[in-house]
Amino acid sequence: MDFSGSLRAVEAGATYVAGGVNSGYRTGVRPNPLVFTSASGCTLVDVDGNILTDYFLGMGPMLLGHSPKEVIDAAKAQLDVSLLVAGQTLAEYKAARLVTEMLPGAELVRFASSGSEAVQVAFRVARAATKRWKMIKFEGHYHGWFDNVYWSVAPDPTTAGDALSPIPVAGTQGQESGENLVVLPWNNIQVIEDQLKNGDIAGIIMEPIMFNSGGILPLPGYLEKVRELCTKYGTVLIFDEVITGFRVSAGGAQGVLGVTPDLTILGKALANGFAVAAIVGKKEFMNLVGEGKVMHGGTYNTQSVSMAATVATLEMIKSGKPHATIEVTGSALMKGLAAEFTSAGVMHEIVGYPSVFNVRFD
């Protein structure tokens, strides 16, 4: 395939857009960043006329595909009613109700515009609830690109320190220190309890399934034990389900794994391509936001068209039809890849679920 048209477009665009892209995560595409002209169903069309099957799902959000009629119709209808109001709409209440009906850990909801923003609210809530300042995150887990949490996402092993006591590694130049952040290895209970015994940890944030780095599943009993320890030591447990929420199942990873956190971060599949995220959780924590003790704001939170799309997306997911289809097609893809790798003599391991999985090579 020829992708030279995309290369020329990106180079020309770099005259006005720094680096020719508007997210640093789009630079790693090979042979070069792509420029698209249209998208429909499971296909993308680029400026070179290439028709590509989309396995990337817009980095995760497009669970229902690029043109689900229900979502498109809802967004178009809302365009004739309102775009953005400095107040509330009925759609956001309906969307919140659907979230609470679908996700085990969602008693109350606050919508945001990005997962990175929602994580910051969760940190504030954990600190306000516990009157402590330190937070725990894990090597390889990603919780947004803000300074206080963008640490040890993909650290260089030569600078990351010992496996059981890693050295926090900054993710970018110009980053403030992470003095209140403790970085630990995942899937190790003892290192968590050793930290919690000090009585100074406000919260633990983790991906319940580690899909940002290699598709690593929690060891049997690991999440249950983390839940137990957080309760024992008065530490807030936060699941970052931006990737897994509504994608692994209609109830997210927590619905499949049977462990309920105190707070959950949602995004991506929540609105099938519209800029919607959320922090949800137990009333005792979310009321800190509701009562104004913890500040959460945003001009574009619950933008009208995005909320209409959120309602339509969640109603489709709740119906069970999308996951029934994904169970068939995703399973077939996993089995097909495994068969091809085996036939070619390639050592491999496929880890995950039909809706999201990783392939590892030995």
Q: Is 142 among the residues known to form the active site?
A: yes
* Beta strand residue intervals within the chain, DSSP E: 36-40, 43-46, 51-53, 108-112, 134-138, 181-184, 201-206, 236-240, 263-266, 277-281, 348-353, 356-361
Domain boundaries, the chain: 1-54, 69-318, 330-362
User: Which of 137, 222, 262, 268 is labelled catalytic?
Assistant: 268
| pLDDT tens digits along 206-229 | 999 999 888 899 999 999 999 999
At 136 the pLDDT is 98
Catalytic residue among 142, 150, 233, 353, which? 142
Write out pLDDT tens, residues 20-55: 999 998 988 889 999 999 999 999 999 999 999 999
DSSP string, 189-230: HHHHHHHHTTS-EEEEEE-SSBTTTT-BPPPTTHHHHHHHHH
Q: What is the pLDDT of residue 164?
A: 85
Assess whether 240 carries a catalytic annotation: yes
Percentage of residues of the chain with pLDDT beyond 70: 100
Per-10-residue mean pLDDT, the chain, length 362: 97 97 90 96 97 93 96 98 96 99 99 98 99 97 92 88 87 87 96 97 98 92 99 99 98 98 98 98 99 97 98 99 97 98 97 95 88
What CATH code is assigned to 69-318? 3.40.640.10
CATH number attached to the domain at 1-54 = 3.90.1150.10
Please tell me the predicted confidence (pLDDT) of residue 176.
86
What is the reported pLDDT for 87? Answer: 95
